[in-house]
Amino acid sequence: MAEQLIWKPCIENNRYEVSQSGLVRSTITGNILKQQEDKDGYLRIGFYAGIALSESGNRYEKKKHYRVHRLVYSNHKGPIPDGMEVNHMDRNRKNNNDWNLEILTSKENKDLRVWGPQDPDDFEPL
């Protein structure tokens, strides 16, 4: 049976809602926003932020981009403290379910990248 989606108003932009599984939709149209992979392998979305003019006078749509895992965490689990990072516990940067996200310090997150999910103190010397 498929998990029922829980939608919460997006605190970063009230024109959108965020589900606990990482979907983002418009409150105006109900459409799910397309997500794109950034250069680091994280999914991101762009929120409409108005119309701007280029130096040549052309109008263009202005967007502000957010990484989806940070939106899910901040809207479903709580604020992300300054200086803290959101970690994907299963190491899959596309798995943005709220149960897969945790807050870590930068050092803790870097240590996980080196050691993996195991505790380095669990290893016995050779």
| 98-121: pLDDT as tens digits | 999 999 999 998 888 766 554 445
CB 25 within 8 A of CB 32: yes
Angle made by CA atoms 119, 115, 126, in degrees to the nearest 5:
75
Q: What is the pTM of this model?
A: 0.81
CA distances to 25, 32, 42, 118 from 62, rounded to whole Å, are: 18, 19, 21, 43
| 5-46: pLDDT as tens digits | 999 999 999 999 999 999 999 999 999 999 999 999 999 999
Give the span between the Cα atoms of 36 and 55, in whole angstroms. Answer: 27
Give the span between the Cα atoms of 67 and 38, in whole angstroms. Answer: 9
Query: What are the residue boundaries of the structural domains of the chain, listed by start?
Result: 7-118
**Any idea which fold 7-118 has?**
Homing Intron 3 (I-Ppo) Encoded Endonuclease; Chain A (3.90.75)
